Structure 1
Amino acid sequence: MPSIIEPKLISGNANLPLATSIARRMSMHRGMNIGLVDARVERFNDQEIFVEVYENVRGEDMFIIQPTSNPANDNLMELLIMSDALRRSSAARITAVIPYFGYARQDRRSKARTPISAKLVANMIVESGIERVLTMDLHAAQIQGFFDIPVDNLYASPIFALDILHQFKDQLGDVMVVSPDVGGVARARELAKRINAPLAIVDKRREKPGEIAEMTVIGDVSGKKCIIVDDICDTAGTLCKAAEVLMEHGATEVHSYITHGVLSGPAVERITNSVMKSLVVTDSIHAPEPVKSAPNIRIVPTAPMFAQAILNIWNGTSVSSLFETETLTPIYEGMYYA
């Protein structure tokens, strides 16, 4: 057991509601109040970021909760500067809790003379003094290897499985999990195994970036309630088109479960007007008002999982135990899926 009395949480501006929810859940687990460390993270007139921590953090086990979502550069700089402030204040250990890891889609050189920005961001995080990263559903698993520090990558599929088993409890025989592309088959297969459902694939071919030339359904989806599963939904063009193609192939309903709802540009309007019956996203990215008020978008919480993962890291116990639905069921019991 560490000599540190309690873990301490600090949050940037990227997703303060999630940070507050995590602190509340940890307080319930510990039986004492665990609040966010009092600090200010603000900008000068020229948009320089300034951080000041008002509490003593010397020798403390610090957890910075900060997804690097839109605006990605501002939120990334907040994370780096908060880490520097804590390191210079003699914090014993600094863990970055990054529910959504921005720049993850730039994980390889897709063509000549392009960067691998995910590796650059990983280098910056390590150099800032962060000693461990806790994240969820990295776009590519190999990004963990970009860091020279431990990286714990949680998965949303156990949360999604609990939600699906609740929402479709009398219709599980009609459910089919669908991967929206060949690259996401492993993720879709994982969820399909958890709910004991068959798997189909939508194969898409692009003429150029941002345009989808052709979509083919691999598998028989006729008469099925299709659940599309993916890690990121940005402009929702591919997702809405995939839903249309599935309905054309005989699906009775199409639902989507997406970990990170980036939902930029026309995404909300597209989803609202699409044939999709529902889109479920996690709160890894703070949802603006248009997303919250969209009639067919629903948000499921990640705070119980992150709270338990932070406590496990602090205690020096297993984080991978949270990969199992059986472990998460009591954590979520009575909250959303009773």
Structure 2
Amino acid sequence: MPTLTEPKLIAGNANLPLAESIASRMSLYRGVDQELVDARVERFNDGEIFVEVFENVRGEDMFIIQPTSNPANDNLMELLIIADALRRSSAARITAVIPYFGYARQDRRTKARTPISAKLVANMLTGSGIERVLTMDLHAAQIQGFFDIPVDNLYASPIFALDVRNHFKGHMEDLMVVSPDVGGVARARELAKRINAPLSIVDKRREKPGEVAEMTVIGDVTDKICLIVDDICDTAGTLCKAAQVLMDKGAKEVHSYISHGVMSGPAVERVTNSVMKSLVITDTIQPTEAILKAPNIRVVPTAPIFTQAILNIWNGTSVSSLFEDKTLVPIYESLYR
């Protein structure tokens, strides 16, 4: 059945390099020049956000590319206002491509009189006219249930598996996947299964938020190349301490694979000075100059998988097929040969 609408991409200011890379790849995949929709997203002197779309989007299938990373509130408001502008301009469908979903760590009430902010954000997105969400590695899977619209959650683990197989050739039998906490075991197990490696866990106990009091390694990591797997690296305190604990327990090397490099405050300096051989993050959040210059931090691109997911949504075909190597390898073959 022929597609009646054209896919059009529009971006906020949160991660323009990723949006431009997606547009460039879509041009390559479709054989049609695909540029970001001409628009301006600006701020008045008092900080109010103003959006103006300069192209006709009536009846078009619109994709807004905007992670809600730091500054989370500004980027979230940009996304909501862009969606409202498109809805009022009679776009046929509006999909929010949110590579990093901010507020995802507030997915439940941990104590009395606290909000569930992830649910509030879901309500705001739906109310703005967004009809579908495409994201990557939600902090908690149940966030998909906060929405009354379809949510496609991509995973970084298939991309990480390709990277691991490429960078650890000849040493695959020495690898040990490590979850930095009990809550992340499912995520770590997924990568361990893909690369056929054993799994270990670092059990941590916190005295208060942001501080780790004690860490215990569950599993034998002696002479192993440990790969710590997690979804978010914020200040990198826990990550660097876990790496040190693993080395103290006899690990040969420690590397980390993190989906979203939030990298707040002293994070880059901590990683640079840590015992970690490498930290691999994706570009769901635009890397800072400090991250790009750090000797032991690498950034892997997500544009190939997001581009294909957008095309699959537009065509009405499977997005979950991108979790399989036979589908993912061809779109990353230029990076991992």
> Into which bin does the TM-score normalised by the smaller protein fall?
over 0.9
CA distance in 2 between counterparts of 1:89 and 1:208 reads 48
Counterpart residue number, 1:236 = 236
Q: Distance in 2 between matches of 1:178 and 1:3?
A: 44
Deviations 1:101-125 (CA, angstroms, capped at 9, x unpaired): 0000000000011000000000000
Sort the Cα spacing of 1:5 and 1:129 in 2 relative to 1 into closer, same or farther, 3 A: closer
Q: Aligned AA for 1:192?
A: A
Q: Map 1:115-154 onto structure 2 (within 5 A).
A: 115-154=115-154
| Equivalent residue letter for 1:102 | G
SS in 2 for 1:230: strand
Cα distance in 2 for residues equivalent to 1:247 and 1:257:
17
Secondary structure of 1:245 counterpart: helix
Map of 2:99 onto structure 1: 99
- The answer for the alignment partner of 1:13 in structure 2 is 13
**2-structure distance, mates of 1:169, 1:157:** 18
Q: CA deviation at 1:4?
A: 3.0
Contact 2:5-2:59 at 8 Å conserved across structures: no
- Post-superposition, which runs of at least 4 consecutive aligned residues in structure 1 deviate over 6 A? none
2:68–2:98 CA contact under 8 A, matched in 1? yes
Residues 1-338 of structure 1: pairs in structure 2 closer than 5 A: 1=1, 3-334=3-334, 336-338=335-337
Deviations 1:184-239 (A, max 9, x none): 00000000000000100000011111111110000000000000000000000000
CA contact (8 A) 2:177 2:227 kept: yes
How many Å separate the matches in 2 of 1:167 and 1:176?
14
Query: In the alignment, is the contact (CA less than 8 A) between 1:4 and 1:59 conserved in 2?
Result: no
Between 1:23-32 and 1:303-312, the stretch displaced more is: 23-32
> d(CA) in 2 for partners of 1:150 and 1:234?
28
My pick for the range that moved more, 208-217 or 297-306, is 208-217
Assess, with a 3 A threshold, how the Cα gap between structure 1 residues 322 and 3 changes in structure 2: closer, same or farther: closer
SS at structure 1 position matched to 2:212: coil
Distance 2:45 2:2 in 1: 42
Q: Classify the secondary structure of the residue corresponding to 1:51.
A: strand
Shift of 1:150: 0.2
Separation in 2, partners of 1:44, 1:252: 54
TM-score, normalising length: structure 2: 0.99
Letter in 2 for 1:198: P
The letter for the 2-side match of 1:68 is T
Contact 2:309 2:319 in 1 (8 A): yes
The answer to whether the 8 Å contact 1:161/1:325 transfers is: no
Secondary structure at the counterpart of residue 133 of structure 1: strand
State the SS of the aligned residue for 1:206: strand
CA distance in 2, matches of 1:98, 1:160: 19
Residue type of the alignment partner of 1:146 = F
Verify the 8 A CA contact 1:159 1:325 in the aligned structure 2. Answer: no
For residue 298 of structure 1, report the CA deviation from its aligned partner: 0.3
CA positional deviation for 1:2: 5.3
Q: How many residues align?
A: 337
Q: Is the 8 A contact 2:188 2:229 kept in 1?
A: yes
**Aligned residues of 1:99 and 1:135 also touching (Cα < 8 A):** yes
Q: What SS does the aligned partner of 1:212 have? A: strand
Deviation at 1:331, TM superposition (A): 0.7
2 CA distance for matches of 1:214 and 1:134? Answer: 37
Contact 1:201–1:217, Cα closer than 8 Å, also in 2: yes
3-state SS of the aligned residue for 1:207? strand
Contact kept in structure 2, 1:207 and 1:213, CA below 8 Å: yes
> d(CA) in 2 for partners of 1:35 and 1:195?
37
Structure 1 residue runs without a partner (length 5+): none
Moved more, 258-267 or 205-214: 205-214
Unaligned runs of 5+ in 2: none
Give the counterpart letter for 1:138 in structure 2. L
Distance of 1:34 and 1:244 partners within structure 2: 46
Alpha-carbon contact 2:38-2:53 (below 8 Å) kept: yes
RMSD: 0.7
SS of 2:208's partner is: coil
For 2:237, give the aligned amino acid.
G
